[in-house]
Each structure stands twice: as C-alpha cells, then as structure tokens.
C-alpha cells in the first residue's frame, strides 16, 4: 500500500522560562505523585536543594538518581528496576541528550509518564520520540522508536544560558539545517522522522525555526557569552530545543543529516559535535541544490555569529584523504538514509564533489573574515 499519511507529532507540553527547576511540582503533578528523577552529576545538588523539597511539599514523593553517563540497555534496565522498586509513576530526566534518551526509554519500557529538563541546547533529544541506544563499549547500538513524544519538556533558561557556548552553537547548527532539510523533503514528497509523509505544518515549524535564528542569533550570543537570559536567547532556545525537533520530526531530514552520518567514517572528526557536522552537511546540501547566493550568505552569517567551525580544517581535519571522503559519500547515500529525501536523485559522486565544493566555499567565506 502506498504511504499517504502526513503527520505532526510533538511533546504534549513545551514550557520555557526562568526558574523552572524550582517549579517542578507544577509540571509533574499532572502525571503522578511518585517521581524518579534521573539527573546528570553536575546539577545533582541543585536538584536536591531546589526541586525535591518543593515536590515533597506538594505531596509528591521523589527520589534522585545519578545518571551513569551512557544510554545503554544496562543503564535503562538499572533505572527501570529502581522505578519498579520505588513504584514510581512518573520519570523526570534532567541533563544532556543521553540522560534524556535514557529517561524516555525507561518511561516507555515501564509505561510511565516522562518529564524532561534539558540542560544543554545542543541536540533534538528533548522533544523527539526517539532514543539512541549505545552498547556497553560505547559503540552505536540502535535507534529505539517510541510510540509517544515526551509528556512535557521544560526549558529552564537559567540552566540553558549557563551551559558552555560550544554546545549552544552546536544546537544552532543542528537547528539551522532543519528548514532546508524539511524544504527538500517536502519538495520530494519524501519520508519524515516518524516514517510518514511530511506535513505542511512540519514545513511551517521548520521555517519558523530558521526565522527565529535569523532574527535573534547575534543578540542570543551576547546573552550566552555573559551567561544571562534575554528575550533573544529565549526565542533562540525555542528554535533549537522545540522547533528544530518537531520541525525535523514532521518535516523530515535530507542531505545535511545524511552527510553528518557519513562523516562518522573520518577518524579526525570523532570528537566533533553532531550540530557541527550537520552544519557542514548543510553547506554540502546547499551546493547540491545550487542555492541562491543570498541564502548561502545568510547561513554563513549565522555560522560565523555563533562561532561554529566553518571549514573542515576548523573542525580538526588534518589531511583530506580521498578514500575516507568517498566512504562518507557512500554512507550518506546508503539505502534508507535521508539523502533519498532530496528532490533530485543524488549519486555518491555528486555528494563527494559537493563536499569538496562546500569546503572550498567555506574557505572562501572564511577568508572574507
């Protein structure tokens, strides 16, 4: 049967503002009265002093557990056992993408509600119905597609503004590609992240994501560099945490993320952030599309403004090995990858050539200062 359904999927609630950690009871009480809180180590003390006393005062029993660094089956089972022993009816995840992915998986396997507090704005983990599972040795294991998005995502701008600027920039890089990928996927009538057809709403959310970045990114960096909250920062976080996730989920991905996936084949780039590689993937996509100069100018302005690496050398590539980049192109064009959402058929040779041209273009823009 041909695929015809179009989708819009989203967390049930997205809330953004300052001081939201201390208000946790307001967001948890709708889902349960016995909470297991999984948290990154750096914020453990703050959770214990700000969130749990307020929860107890509101009649919500709460236990806090430190996340053990990787989203593995071992960790998901460990925390699941704790949830059972405690008879928890709601899971709260506080931390980076792996912590939130673990909280989502624990909630799914134990049929519990899940409330998430992202502490960095660098990935789409908070809002999507997906967990990325790793093996105990740190290698990628599988994608766990979840039947539901999280129940609530709470973006506390006090926490997010204090995160390192590099993570914030990486989140902007990931969000920057969202519109261009959704546009390509819509034009090709491709397949979105929940394996349905892209909706017009998905394309609209992706477009708003890009507009918020264009309008706010310079002023948002002023806030991040001073670790303060401003309206421009808040709107940028709406783009990087909410719109980027739901826009990609309903609108679909295309060349930028396919190239990012391929770049895992380059050893020099293993330490590079997801959003940094997606940024180079976006430049490659714009070359493949022969995008108008004004569009490329604006994308480059945003990349430079947030201090994302522009060229492959900026990302740490020491030498360009043709065989490695032929492999990148091959992975990017693999059966089932999102390169298939480009409006025109794209060959491995097209991608290889576009990556060389994208880096040359990046070098040219960099030389302009």
- Looking at the chain, how many residues does it have? 369
**121 annotated among ligand-binding-site residues:** yes
Q: Which two tokens stand for residue 57?
A: 């005062």
Q: At what angle do helices 293-306 and 200-225 cross, to 10 degrees?
A: 40
Q: How far is the CB of 53 from Zn ion (least distance, A)?
A: 36
Residues numbered 91 to 120 that lie near Zn ion (CB under 5 A) are none
Q: How far is the CB of 45 from Zn ion (least distance, A)?
A: 31
Q: How far is the CB of 344 from Zn ion (least distance, A)?
A: 23
CB-nearer residue toward Zn ion: 100 or 113 = 100
Of the residues 101, 151, 174, 289, which one makes contact with Zn ion according to CB under 5 A: 174
Q: At what angle do helices 244-251 and 165-188 cross, to 10 degrees?
A: 20
Q: How far is the CB of 171 from Zn ion (least distance, A)?
A: 9
CB-nearer residue toward Zn ion: 174 or 234 = 174
**33 annotated among ligand-binding-site residues:** no
Say how far apart CA 242 and CA 15 lie, in whole Å: 10
Which listed range, 9-17, 111-119, 172-180, 343-351, lies at the site for Zn ion (CB under 5 A)? 172-180
- Asked if residue 151 binds Zn ion (CB under 5 A), the reply is no
- φ/ψ region of 256 (left if φ > 0, alpha if ψ in -120 to 50, else beta) reads alpha
* Strand residue runs (E) in the chain: 6-7, 13-17, 34-39, 61-66, 90-95, 113-118, 130-134, 140-145, 152-156, 197-198
CB-nearer residue toward Zn ion: 101 or 174 = 174
- φ/ψ region of 227 (left if φ > 0, alpha if ψ in -120 to 50, else beta) reads left
Report whether 366 contacts 310 (CB < 8 A). Answer: yes
CB-nearer residue toward Zn ion: 185 or 223 = 185
**100 annotated among ligand-binding-site residues:** yes
Read off the DSSP letter of residue 310.
-
Report whether 54 contacts 24 (CB < 8 A). Answer: yes
**101 annotated among ligand-binding-site residues:** yes
Q: How far is the CB of 172 from Zn ion (least distance, A)?
A: 12
**97 annotated among ligand-binding-site residues:** yes
Residues flagged as binding site for glycerol: 124, 174, 257, 274
Residues flagged as binding site for NAD(+): 40, 97-101, 119-122, 128, 130, 134
Q: Point out which residues bind Zn ion (CB under 5 A).
A: 174
């Amino acid at each position: 049967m041909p695929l015809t359904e179009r989708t819009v999927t989203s967390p049930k609630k997205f809330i953004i503002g300052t001081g939201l950690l201390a208000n946790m009871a307001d967001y948890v009480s709708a889902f349960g009265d016995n909470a297991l809180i999984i948290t990154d180590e750096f914020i453990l003390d703050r959770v214990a002093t700000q969130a749990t006393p307020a929860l107890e005062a509101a009649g919500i029993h709460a236990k806090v557990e430190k996340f053990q660094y990787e989203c593995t089956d071992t960790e998901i089972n460990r925390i699941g056992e704790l949830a059972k022993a405690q008879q928890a009816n709601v899971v709260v995840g506080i931390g980076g993408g792996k912590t939130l992915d673990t909280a989502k998986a624990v909630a799914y396997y134990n049929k519990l509600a899940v409330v998430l507090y992202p502490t960095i704005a660098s990935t789409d983990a908070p809002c999507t119905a997906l967990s990325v599972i790793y093996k105990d040795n740190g290698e990628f294991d599988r994608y766990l597609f979840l039947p539901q998005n999280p129940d609530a995502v709470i973006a506390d701008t006090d926490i997010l503004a204090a995160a390192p600027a590099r993570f914030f920039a990486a989140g902007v890089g990931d969000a920057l590609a969202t519109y261009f990928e959704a546009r390509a996927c819509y034009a090709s009538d491709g397949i979105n992240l929940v394996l349905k057809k892209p909706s017009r709403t998905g394309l609209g959310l992706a477009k708003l994501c890009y507009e918020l970045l264009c309008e706010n990114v310079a002023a948002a960096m002023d806030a991040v560099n001073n670790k303060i909250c401003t309206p421009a920062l808040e709107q940028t976080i709406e783009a990087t945490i909410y719109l980027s996730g739901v826009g990609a989920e309903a609108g679909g991905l295309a060349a930028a993320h396919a190239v990012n996936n391929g770049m895992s084949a380059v050893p020099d780039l293993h330490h590079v952030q997801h959003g940094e590689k997606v940024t180079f993937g976006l430049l490659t996509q714009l070359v493949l599309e022969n995008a108008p100069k004004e569009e490329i100018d604006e994308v480059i302005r945003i990349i430079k403004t947030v201090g994302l690496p522009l060229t492959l050398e900026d990302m740490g590539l020491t030498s360009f090995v043709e065989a490695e980049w032929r492999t990148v192109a091959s992975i990017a064009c693999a059966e089932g990858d999102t390169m298939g959402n480009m409006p025109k058929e794209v060959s491995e040779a097209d991608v290889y050539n576009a990556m060389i041209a994208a880096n040359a273009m990046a070098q040219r823009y960099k030389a302009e200062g």
